Amino acid sequence: MNLKVVSTSPTFGYYATEPLEYLKTHGAQIVLAPQGKKMSEEELIEFVRDYDAIIVGIEKITAPVIEASKKLKIITKHGAGVDNVDVKTASARGIVVTSAPGANSDAVADLTLGLFLSLAREIPFADRSVREGKWPRLAGVQVNEKTLGIIGLGQVGKKVVRRALGFDMKVLVYDVIQDEAFARQTALRYVSLDELLAQSDFISIHVPLMPSTHRLIGERELGLLKKQAFIVNISRGNIVDEEALYRSLKEGRIRGAALDVFSQEPPAGSPLLSLDNVILTPHMGGYTLEALRDTGLICVRNILDLFEGKTPQFIINPEVLK
């Protein structure tokens, strides 16, 4: 198969080699973007121009990038959300767009619980203090038997619920689509967004970025939180109004927050960087060796399936195949 594949993702192929080997054993050529380099739109246009398939991370695959790629037949996301891909332009040009939902859901759920514990016991601050020769007495809070509010009960949200039940947490959920069978199974309760925010001790966000979720958590919503509440955003940066969050944290209106995602990545110059009651991580929720392997394999199988005349999994724009 004379198939040329390019990856613009900073993680594909660098930590898990199985997807690369899978492509090569099927006769495909693969080129990886240099790790650690954030390419501009102009650089992306030149980089992907002559390829049949693109594997993408969180970099923006805009209309000019897509239109410059004359041979392109498929764009496959090395992850779940495709909000960084111009799906409309791809569809207009007959280019299939796929994603890999669920492959990293355990990894994201694990980090969510890790952030809950880190916030509750001030672990990063304690670590920094000891390294600086200090020995503070830090009185945290326990996670067990607290109320957890989950915003978005997709695959990640459900796995967070399963983990939270091990801590005997009471679970409230806000989602426009309600899975009543799962609710009965786990004894969770669906509530309005306002009720969830007002009653929860820990809140985690697991919804995709779309017009209806853009800045879903703003000044008004943050004002509903308990003073001792913690909020974790591990979904997309623009779901939370970061300026409003900064004010809430700075003024002590909520106890703490943890962000794995930001409206601008990396968040250079963000006032959140100056606060001790916020934990900041570099969009690493889905980055475990196991998740990168599984996500990568979905990507390469989707590419090979398309060029072998099969229907790829997880197509975002299935109308293209018609």
Residues marked active site are found at 236, 265, 283
Q: Burial code of 104-135, b = ≥16 C-beta within 10 A, e = fewer?
A: bbbbbbbbbbebbebbbbbbbbbeeeeeeeee
The strand order across the sheet containing 28-32 reads 28-32, 3-7, 53-56, 74-77, 96-98
The 3-class SS string of the chain reads CCEEEEECCCCCCCCCCHHHHHHHHCCEEEEECCCCCCCCHHHHHHHHCCCCEEEECCCCECHHHHHHCCCCCEEEECCCCCCCECHHHHHHCCCEEECCCCCCHHHHHHHHHHHHHHHHHCHHHHHHHHHCCCCCCCCCCCCCCCEEEEECCCHHHHHHHHHHHCCCCEEEEECCCCCHHHHHHHCCEECCHHHHHHHCCEEEECCCCCCCCCCCECHHHHCCCCCCCEEEECCCHHHECHHHHHHHHHCCCCCEEEECCCCCCCCCCCHHHHCCCEEECCCCCCCCHHHHHHHHHHHHHHHHHHHCCCCCCCECCHHHHC
